[in-house]
Structure 1
Amino acid sequence: MTRIDPRRIALGLAAPLLAILVAFVVTSLILFVARDPVGAVWTQLIKAPLPRQVVAIVNAATVYYLSAIAVAIGFRMNLFNIGVDGQYRVAAFAAAVFAGQAWLPGPLNILVSLLVAMAAGGLWAGIAGLLKVTRGVSEVISTIMLNAIATFLVSFLLSKAAVKVEGSNAVSTRPIPESSRVPGISVDGIIATPNLIYGLVVLAILVGFLYWFILNKTRFGFDLRATGRSETAAVASGVKVKRMVLVSMVLSGAAAGLVGMPLLFGQDHAYGDTFQSGLGFAGIAIALLGRNNAIGIVFASLLWAFLDAQGNGLQINAGVSDRLVLVIQGVIVLSVVIAYEIVRRAGVRMEQRRVASQLARTPAATTEGASA
């Protein structure tokens, strides 16, 4: 049976609590210096959300979670995949074009479109992986460049594949047929709101489970984590590092390809110039906040979505720009990085003292045994 270690649990809780406390203090100081109403801001941010806002928070967290998992796959391999934003754009466009053709019946069209999105995202991320293993190009540089290329490439292709809608200036692909749209989940009987949760929240749960299972219960996951910790040790144990780098980048891109799917099949039903952007960069911050842990990322995604939802009322209720939420989110991420490092060092010191204490008792026990 697994023994519960209270000290380890306390250290695990200390880091996020310390980060939240630091973020609260720093943000309050910023508000005070700017002569903004500190009390009114925090009252708005921490008040209970309305039922419709709860649904919006869950929906936003679903998308954020997929983005953060895509980033976390790279982080666990010690790869910094900044290209999730470009990867999900390419993938969402490819899936929208395919699904809009209605070549397959309803559910099958959805399933194959998801596979198309994963393939498109994986191939786009694979470019950075190939550049790294064959030419030694940093994935940070290549993925940033690929983000820009993806933006202009998708815009160009969208102009070719766009369907003109009468009476509208919006540019978008052919709408997905009704039979291929994923119905939302009603929670009206629980929180009394007609708003629906994305049906593909199930997809996010499945991706999270697979992420946890593969990393922690398979040989591939062990090799991936081992390579991320020490390439030298991985090579010594027989791991083909270059292949692991390429496969990890492709898997990260494949997960990124799913980021836009809840929006595509549950809300927009087409890819257009109004499709939500910036999800990849939010995923980087959320993965850091969740410490690349499948469960930790859940809470980080919900916190990010909660701040987004509550920030919408700052201008009206507190007279402060809703951009303040971006400041708070940034401070939280920095605080988490610092807090986890402080807690890590404290844990190391505690472990060193514990080991030293045990070693100090060992000679005495040995001497007593010899005397007897």
Structure 2
Amino acid sequence: MPAWRAILQGLGPQRLALKVGAPVLALAIALAITMVLLRLTGADPFSSITAMVEYGTEPNSIVDILNRSTRYYLSAIAVAIGFRMALFNIGVDGQYRMAAMLAAALGGAIALPAPFGQLLVIVAAMLIGGLWASIAGILRVTRGVSEVISTIMLNAIATGIIAYLLNDKRLAEVRPGSNNVATPPIPESGRVGELNGVLSAIGIDLPGRLYGLLPLAIVIGVVYYVVLNRTRFGFDLRISGLSPTAAQASGVSSGRMIVITMVLSGMVAGLVGMPELLGASYEYSLNFPAGLGFTGITIALLGRNHPLGIAFAALLFSFLDQSSDVLQEVDVPKEIVGVMQGVVVLTVVIVYELVRRWEIRLQQRAVAAELARETS
């Protein structure tokens, strides 16, 4: 034991440097590639990047970035739960849209005093998201259907169901003076106020509305980390993904863990639409944000399924989305931001893989050196 402890201690500083240096190096390479791409489009890369930074750090932009990051973060955590058990939940997009639509209809139909109105909508969204995701888990266990295929199909089914129910003859109503169809608005008692009042009390004044459910996203990240890394359940979940046969030998049912993991992933996915629903729109309409689930996949991969890494990745993507608005003012196509995001992801994946291989090599050298000392 002392020998292995010495090995770990010897690798500690190097591993820490690799963990910190890898994302920094990846972002530096991505920035360099992005500047080359900007030059190829005929734009001045330095003025373009400067304009993005200046616009993205304005007070109004900061509020929008934090609001967008809240949704991205919840979406990425939902995906990361599946990743930790080697499950690819591509259905987060359908799960959160289905949950938001039905929860909005429920919240608009039943008026309860605060905080029961908010809890009704949030709990309903989590249950709906979990139930919808459980279909993929059950199909995987009982029929061997890949969750990749089933969740993709469930996204399409969810889109069809939402289109069917979002009708003035069913769960929605037509807004007077427009062609917009939406669920009945959630009453005041069911809405979540912005955080501006709380921040003003401590001397922080923001120009825009900051989602009141931002703290909920932070809590979800903390619970995700504690449960998966500090509990027996989290160990069983991770070992079931790494080796189902080893989990079975230790008395853990891998099939049961698959269903539970998909349900948990779906429950968190159900929360993705809540910041927008309870903090801004108060109804589900055709204009409700879509595509957040697919962005969450990218952010979870970029953050390596760690809550802090996911937080930084969500902020980075939100910053790029927000600052893209200013590119047209410097004669740069707005679509270049999508290319920049792809370059960041590709660079990070490559650098992380190189770092992983370098870590393995360092461990092998350390073990070989320790064995040589023991035999000499």
Q: Give the TM-score normalised by structure 1.
A: 0.94
SS at match of 2:117: helix
SS at match of 2:334: coil
Stretch moving more, 57-66 or 47-56: 47-56
Contact 2:194–2:209 at 8 Å: present in 1 too?
Answer: yes
Query: Residue 181 of structure 2 corresponds to which residue in structure 1?
Result: 171
1:5 to 2:12 alignment: yes
The Cα offsets for residues 233-286 of structure 1, whole Å up to 9 and x where unpaired, read as 212222101111111011101110000000000000000000001100010000
Contact 1:19–1:336 at 8 Å: present in 2 too?
Answer: yes
Query: Structure 1 residues 46 and 194 mapped into 2: Cα distance closer, same or farther (>3 Å)?
Result: closer
Q: 1:353 aligns with which of 351, 365, 369?
A: 365
Q: 2:215 aligns with which of 202, 217, 223?
A: 202
SS at match of 1:196: coil
Contact 1:14–1:343 at 8 Å: present in 2 too?
Answer: no
Q: 1:40 aligns with which of 37, 47, 50?
A: 47
Structure 1 counterpart of 2:185, one-letter code: P
Matches of 1:18 and 1:345 in 2, distance apart?
A: 16
Contact 1:51–1:191 at 8 Å: present in 2 too?
Answer: no
Structure 2 counterpart of 1:42, one-letter code: I
Q: Give the TM-score normalised by structure 2.
A: 0.93
Q: Please report how far the alpha carbon of residue 232 of structure 1 lies from its aligned counterpart in structure 2 after TM superposition.
A: 2.1
Identity score, percent: 53
Query: Residue 20 of structure 1 corresponds to which residue in structure 2?
Result: 27
Q: Please report how far the alpha carbon of residue 202 of structure 1 lies from its aligned counterpart in structure 2 after TM superposition.
A: 1.5
Q: Please report how far the alpha carbon of residue 313 of structure 1 lies from its aligned counterpart in structure 2 after TM superposition.
A: 0.6
Query: Residue 99 of structure 2 corresponds to which residue in structure 1?
Result: 91
Contact 1:92–1:257 at 8 Å: present in 2 too?
Answer: yes
Which runs of 5 or more structure 1 residues have no equivalent in the other structure? 365-372
Matches of 1:294 and 1:122 in 2, distance apart?
A: 21
Query: Residue 121 of structure 1 corresponds to which residue in structure 2?
Result: 129
Matches of 1:167 and 1:363 in 2, distance apart?
A: 86
Stretch moving more, 346-355 or 86-95: 346-355
Q: Please report how far the alpha carbon of residue 214 of structure 1 lies from its aligned counterpart in structure 2 after TM superposition.
A: 0.9
Query: Residue 231 of structure 2 corresponds to which residue in structure 1?
Result: 218
Q: Please report how far the alpha carbon of residue 325 of structure 1 lies from its aligned counterpart in structure 2 after TM superposition.
A: 1.2
Query: Residue 5 of structure 2 corresponds to which residue in structure 1?
Result: none
Aligned length: 363
SS at match of 1:226: helix
Q: Please report how far the alpha carbon of residue 6 of structure 1 lies from its aligned counterpart in structure 2 after TM superposition.
A: 1.7
Matches of 1:183 and 1:192 in 2, distance apart?
A: 15
Query: Any residues of structure 2 matched to 1:150-299 within 5 Å, and which?
Result: 150-159=158-167, 160-186=170-196, 187=199, 192-299=205-312
Query: Residue 334 of structure 2 corresponds to which residue in structure 1?
Result: 322
Q: 1:112 aligns with which of 115, 120, 144?
A: 120
Stretch moving more, 351-360 or 59-68: 351-360
Matches of 2:255 and 2:206 in 1, distance apart?
A: 51
The Cα offsets for residues 44-102 of structure 1, whole Å up to 9 and x where unpaired, read as 23336111111111111111110000000000010000000000000001110111013
The Cα offsets for residues 183-223 of structure 1, whole Å up to 9 and x where unpaired, read as 00114575643312111111101111111111012111000
SS at match of 1:194: coil
Which runs of 5 or more structure 2 residues have no equivalent in the other structure? 1-7
Q: Please report how far the alpha carbon of residue 314 of structure 1 lies from its aligned counterpart in structure 2 after TM superposition.
A: 0.6
Contact 1:59–1:201 at 8 Å: present in 2 too?
Answer: yes
CA RMSD, Structure 1 to Structure 2 (Å): 1.8
Contact 2:94–2:159 at 8 Å: present in 1 too?
Answer: yes
